[in-house]
Amino acid sequence: MNYFSPVRNVLSVVVYPIQTLASLPSDTSEWMSDFFQSRKELKEKNAQLEAINLSNSIRLQSLQDLQRENMRLRELLGSSFRLPERVKVAEILAIDLDPFSQQVVIDKGEGYDVFIGQAVLDATGVMGQVVKVSKVSSHVILLTNPSHALPVQVNRNGVRAVVTGRGLGKTLQLEHVPHNADIRVGDLLVTSGLGGRFPVGYPVGRVVSVSSAQGQAFAHVLVEPAAKLSTSREVLLVLAAESFSTAEDTEVVGEQVNNE
């Protein structure tokens, strides 16, 4: 498999102009609609954004306080504390790939230190992860791809599960959930970070239906993805997180246990 990735890299650069060209019509129409926006619309939009900004900054103030408190408490518990991840912005090329593959192309590649397995978010939640990287672009596999799985936990009570895709435009589903698991409709699922690929605590989706049919080994749980998979244009690439200082922390925990 790896023998062919240089070939793919080179060919990706060859086809990149065609991909950019294909995304041109929707880029242009977007630019046009930006350009011909009326003053009134812009003012309305601005007022709206300011309101959102205000509420966000209020929340951010309390967040900083909470973060520090969280860190102190974690220190008291002797467990590892998380550093905030940093992100980088990339843009999705507006092109349709093969509908079976459910991937999108973004306009950042090796040149911007994009790497395979990097988590991709949008403003509202997790979108997927990078699967192929070339010099100038990379392919991102979406959550909805049936071959994509992502470790999550329920935000309410920390129940862990694995969420997999079911196809484009369909909801996600939770795999191997026992019938008695405490998962309810409306529960927010966040990344658990257990796979080591995704950062912890980003929203993945909300549970929309839980059904446990008799005779089935596991409960059937459907999840509506939080990210706007088909409409967002800007995505965030999470930088390689040094979020866990695992070796030291496990030692600390071990010592504490010994002391007790």
Partner 1 sequence: MSKSSYGGGVIITTLIIAALLTLLPLPDYVRVFRPEFVGLTLIYWALAVPQRVGISFAWSIGLLMDVMLGGALGLLAFTYSLLVYLVLQFHLQLRQYPMWQQALSVFSLILLLQILFVFASSHSAGWTFWMPAIMSMLIWPLVYHLLRGVRRTFHVH
Sequential DSSP letters for 44-103: HHHHHHHHHHHHHHHHHHHHHHHHHHHHHHHHHHT---PPPP-EEEEEB------TTT-E
Selection from 149, 152, 127 nearest residue 138 by Cα: 127
Q: Which stretch binds partner 1 (CB under 8 A): 3-11, 41-49, 181-189, 248-256?
A: 3-11
> Which of 38, 64, 99, 247 forms a contact with partner 1 (CB under 8 A)?
99
Cβ of residue 191: shortest distance to partner 1, in angstroms? Answer: 24
**Cβ atoms of 189 and 154 closer than 8 Å:** yes
Q: Check binding of 105 to partner 1 (CB under 8 A).
A: yes
Told to check if 98 binds partner 1 by CB under 8 A, we report yes
Measured CA to CA, the distance from residue 37 to residue 123 in angstroms comes to 23
AA letter at 191:
T
Q: What mask of x and - would describe binding to partner 1 in positions 108 to 147, judged by CB under 8 A?
A: ------------------------x------x------xx
Q: Is the Cβ of residue 99 or residue 186 nearer to partner 1 in the bound state?
A: 99
Q: Note whether 233 binds partner 1 by CB under 8 A.
A: no
Asked if 95 touches partner 1 (CB under 8 A), the answer is yes
How many CA atoms lie less than 13 Å away from 56 in the CB half-sphere?
A: 6
d(CA 225, CA 148): 13
Note whether 80 binds partner 1 by CB under 8 A. Answer: no
Contact pattern for partner 1 over residues 153 through 182, marking x by CB under 8 A: --------------xxx-------------
What is the rounded distance in angstroms from the CA atom of residue 215 to the CA atom of residue 112? 51
Least distance in angstroms from the C-beta of 19 to partner 1: 6
Residues within the interface to partner 1 (CB under 8 A): 4, 7-8, 11-12, 14-15, 18-19, 21-23, 25-26, 94-101, 103, 105, 132, 139, 146-147, 167-169, 230
